[in-house]
Amino acid sequence: MRQTSQISKFNCLRAGFAALSIFALIGVSGVANAADAAPMAADAKAAVPGKPKVDPAAGEALYSNGDSSRGVTACLTCHGPKGQSATGTWPKLSAQHAAYTAKQLKNFKEGTRANPVMMGMSATLTEQDMQNIAAYLAKQAISQGVAQNKDTIELGQSIYRGGIAAKGVPACAACHSPTGAGIPSQYPLLGGQWAEYTNAQLLAFRDGVRKNSSQMTTIATKLSDQEMKAVSDYIAGLH
C-alpha cells in the first residue's frame, strides 16, 4: 500500500511538472510571437505615408523673396510685409487661418476661384509651398482697421450680428464669430479686413465671378449694393 501511495505521488508530481512545462512553452512562444509582431507593426506604420511637415520658415522665404529659379514671385509685393497690405485692392492676409489660405491658393491654381493675377502667382506653387506660406501668415499679428462710414454703421452691425430675416440672410457672426475671428478650418477671419476688398468679394459671389463657396453665393445674391457696403465697412472695424 505504501509503495502504491508513493507511485501515485510520483505520478502526480510528474503530471504537474508536465503541465508547468507546457505553460512555460506557451509563455515563451507568446513572447516570441509578440517580439516578431512588434517590428512588423512598426514597419507597417512606417510604410503609411504621412502629411508633409509644414515649414513656416520656408513659407516666409517664399512670401518675402519668392523663388526666381521656379518663377515664384514674392507675395509681399502686393500683400505687404507679414501679410499686412497697404491698400484695399489686395487683402490683408496676416493671422488668417492656415487652412483657409492654403485652400484659396489651391483654388486659384485649379481655376475654381478666378483671378488672373492670383491664378498666375499660384501656378508655380506646390501644395507644400502653399501649406508653408499659409502657416507663416497664420503666425503673423492681426491687422486691425476701423469702420469709415458713420451713416451705415448701424445697418452694417444689424446685418452682421442679426442678418436680415425678411430676406433669409443669416447673421454673419454665426459663422465668422462676433469679433470677426472666424472658425479655424471652416470660416475665414474677417475682422480688420479692408472694406473695399470685402465688398468686392461679396459682389463677386453675387455675380457668379467667385464660385468657390456655394454658401456665400446664396447669401450674397440676397444682399443689395447698399447692404454689402454697410456690412463690409462694419467688418473693417471688428476685432
| Tens digit of each residue's pLDDT (9 = 90 or more) over 107-125 | 999 999 999 999 999 999 9
The residue written with cell numbers 517664399 in the block is 62
Q: How confident is the model at residue 28 (pLDDT cuts 50, 70, 90)?
A: very low
- Is residue 41 scored above 60 in pLDDT? no
pLDDT score at 12: 39
Q: What is the mean pLDDT of residues 19-24?
A: 36
The rounded distance, in Å, linking the Cα atoms of 189 and 235 is: 10
Asked if residue 84 lies in contact with residue 95, where contact means CB atoms within 8 angstroms, the answer is: no
The rounded distance, in Å, linking the Cα atoms of 112 and 118 is: 12
Q: For all residues of the chain together, what is the average pLDDT?
A: 85
Which strand (E) or helix (H) includes residue 229?
helix 225-236
148-175 pLDDT per residue, tens: 999 999 999 999 999 999 999 999 999 9
Q: Is the pTM of this model over 0.85?
A: no
pLDDT score at 19: 39
Name the most confidently modeled range: 2-6, 26-30, 51-55, 116-120.
Answer: 116-120
- Is residue 27 scored above 70 in pLDDT? no
pLDDT score at 102: 98
Asked if residue 220 lies in contact with residue 206, where contact means CB atoms within 8 angstroms, the answer is: yes
Closest of 157, 161, 155 to residue 175, by C-alpha: 161
Q: Is 94 exposed, middle or buried (0-12, 13-18, 19+ CB in 10 A)?
A: buried
Amino acid identity of residue 116, one-letter, is P
The rounded distance, in Å, linking the Cα atoms of 160 and 163 is: 6
Asked if residue 98 lies in contact with residue 185, where contact means CB atoms within 8 angstroms, the answer is: no
Q: Give the distance from CA 202 to its chain's centroid.
A: 22
